[in-house]
């Protein structure tokens, strides 16, 4: 497997600091001994530059197999990513394949369910560009941003839960009463998982009262290639990792190649 995860551009090695929210979040990898690295390639146009200032990304690639430059696999991959530029923004999800065995490539792009069409397109364009720069000759790779993810492989993977690509982020601040907070967090995310599986976008957001002046906010989402049943299984699986990820933490997320959740004690969903 690849020996690096990447965080960019607002990430300080293993810590993300958001001054307005007084939030510090720590990135940790799951099941792999990988390294967090800072990388910022600079601006490529005003829209992309503004987008990158607001976003952080993580990517992962398999070291093998690789493809030859200017060969049939690269041609098919170029066609696939171009297709995803146009297919994804209108609905928030696009998938497809190009070519034939042994040079066939499969891929999809998913935008977070609350982002606008224009922000979705910007994210997919940036993700497509960055993943090819960071993983130029890898047949399989995935990149995550706050607003989207993009994944491709030489093996068909549609409809299957991706258990190999996953990471945690959490707020380093701990609540004063972890047990009831953990219970309410799990209840909210489980409720949202039930709601998400019944929606066309496999996406749901919600909130729950924690006290007189505090609320808990949550978001869950699955990739659009999953059935409602498989989506629910995926979400149940990552929600079950709450004790490992975020025990008593004021905010956190588990992100995989098939589903993800976020919870915070401040509103973060786009209106």
Range(s) within the chain of domains with CATH label 3.30.430.20: 8-153, 174-264
Asked whether the predicted pLDDT for residue 14 surpasses 80, the reply is no
- Band (217; pLDDT cuts 50, 70, 90): very high
The pLDDT value given to residue 64: 58
The pLDDT value given to residue 163: 87
Q: For the residues 236-241, what does the mean pLDDT come to?
A: 98
Cis-peptide into 73, omega within 30 deg:
no
Asked whether the predicted pLDDT for residue 36 surpasses 60, the reply is no
Asked whether the predicted pLDDT for residue 127 surpasses 50, the reply is yes
**First vs last C-alpha separation in the chain:** 39
Pairing of strands 215-222, 259-264: antiparallel
Which is more confident, 1 or 156? 156
The pLDDT value given to residue 164: 87
Helices (H), the chain: 46-54, 72-91, 117-134, 178-196, 228-239, 242-246
Which is more confident, 71 or 8? 71
- Distance CA(73)–CA(95), nearest Å, equals 17
Residue 219: left (phi > 0), alpha (psi -120 to 50), or beta? beta
The pLDDT value given to residue 133: 92
Which CATH superfamily groups domain 8-153? Gnk2 domain, C-X8-C-X2-C motif (3.30.430.20)
- Band (12; pLDDT cuts 50, 70, 90): very low
DSSP state of 44: S
CB-CB neighbours of 39 under 10 Å: 15
- Distance CA(84)–CA(126), nearest Å, equals 12
- Distance CA(226)–CA(230), nearest Å, equals 6
Asked whether the predicted pLDDT for residue 8 surpasses 70, the reply is no
CATH of the domain spanning 174-264: 3.30.430.20
In sequence order, what DSSP letters do the residues of 5-34 get, joined into one string? --BEES-BTTEEEETTTTEEEEEEESSS--
The pLDDT value given to residue 176: 93
- Band (62; pLDDT cuts 50, 70, 90): low
- Band (232; pLDDT cuts 50, 70, 90): very high
pTM of the entire structure?
Answer: 0.80
Torsions phi, psi for 36 (to 5 deg):
-80, 135
Retrieve residue 208's tokens: 């729950």
The pLDDT value given to residue 65: 86
Q: Are 139 and 154 in contact (CB under 8 A)?
A: yes
């Amino acid at each position: 497997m690849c020996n690096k995860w990447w965080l960019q551009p607002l990430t300080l090695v293993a810590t993300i600091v958001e001054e307005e929210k007084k939030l510090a979040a720590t990135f940790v990898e799951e099941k792999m001994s990988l390294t967090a690295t800072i990388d910022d390639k600079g601006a490529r146009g005003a829209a992309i530059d503004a987008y990158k200032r607001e976003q952080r990304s993580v990517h992962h690639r398999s070291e093998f197999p690789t493809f030859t430059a200017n060969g049939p696999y690269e041609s098919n991959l170029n066609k696939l990513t171009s297709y995803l530029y146009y297919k994804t923004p209108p609905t928030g999800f696009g998938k497809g394949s190009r070519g034939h065995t042994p040079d066939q490539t499969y891929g999809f792009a998913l935008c977070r369910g609350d982002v606008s069409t224009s922000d979705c397109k910007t994210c997919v364009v940036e993700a497509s560009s960055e993943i090819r720069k960071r993983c130029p000759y890898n047949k399989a790779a995935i990149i995550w941003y706050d607003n989207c993810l993009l994944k491709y492989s030489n093996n068909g993977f549609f409809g299957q839960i991706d258990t190999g690509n996953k990471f945690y982020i959490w707020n380093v601040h701990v609540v004063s009463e972890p047990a009831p907070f953990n219970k309410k967090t799990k209840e909210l995310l489980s409720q949202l998982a039930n709601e998400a599986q019944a929606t066309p976008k496999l996406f749901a957001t919600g909130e729950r009262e924690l006290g007189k002046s505090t609320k808990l906010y949550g978001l869950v989402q699955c990739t659009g290639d999953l059935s409602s049943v498989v989506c629910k299984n995926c979400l149940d699986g990552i929600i079950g990792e709450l004790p490992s990820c975020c025990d008593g933490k004021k905010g956190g997320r588990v992100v995989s190649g098939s589903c993800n959740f976020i919870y915070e004690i401040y509103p973060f969903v786009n209106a």
